[in-house]
Amino acid sequence: MRNKIALLLSTVFITVLLMACGTSNGLTKAEREAAITRQVQEGLDTRHYTIAVDWMKPLGGMARHVTSNYELRVNGDEVDSYLPYVGEAYRLPYGGGKGLNFKGKIENYSINYLTSNRSHIEFTANSGEDTYHFRIDVFNNGKSIIDIIAQERDAISFDGEMIF
């Protein structure tokens, strides 16, 4: 009986110890938030960042949760857009075209630090079949809002988070 109690107590102790080690990582909440803020700022400063999206909001439609690995990647002077599109297109190539799935050169990139916790980015990119104007708000915690205005399609917005 004593062996069973000792085994049970040691199992509980080890479980609690492992849970405590796994959740704290030795950082306080403030230290974790400061580290994320530094990562966000570094990504914006170097123009190397990726935003994984989890919600899309088509113009005039309902917001929809997206379940795939959709993302927008800025890599210096290039953008790699892998985003879903729902909305009206005014002129498309035969077969539907690429939509928001393209790599392109960034033009007219600008960044403004609107508040101590929010940055606003704007740039234009051409996919070969349409020109897109991107407006991105990035918060210090990595949360992001992407608005895309196209010449040949309805506008669309995405919510996501910067990934590191």
Residue of 50, 52, 98, 99 lying closest to 75 (CA atoms):
50
Helix (H, G, I), strand (E, B) or coil at 9: helix
Q: Is residue 13 part of a domain?
A: no
Q: Is residue 88 part of a domain?
A: yes
Q: Is residue 72 part of a domain?
A: yes
Q: What is the pLDDT of residues 13-54, one digit of tens each?
A: 444 444 444 455 678 999 999 999 999 999 999 999 999 999
Q: What is the pLDDT of residues 110-162, one digit of tens each?
A: 999 988 899 999 999 999 999 999 999 999 999 999 999 999 999 999 999 99
Q: Is residue 156 part of a domain?
A: yes
CA distances from 11 to 3, 110, 120 (A): 12, 56, 51
Q: What is the pLDDT of residues 98-119, one digit of tens each?
A: 889 999 999 999 999 988 899 9
Q: Is residue 5 part of a domain?
A: no
Whether the model pTM is above 0.85? no
Residue of 92, 100, 97 lying closest to 126 (CA atoms):
100
Q: Is residue 109 part of a domain?
A: yes
Q: From the CA atom positions of the chain, what is the Rg in Å?
A: 22
Structure tokens at 59: 């113009």
Residue 146, domain extent? 37-163
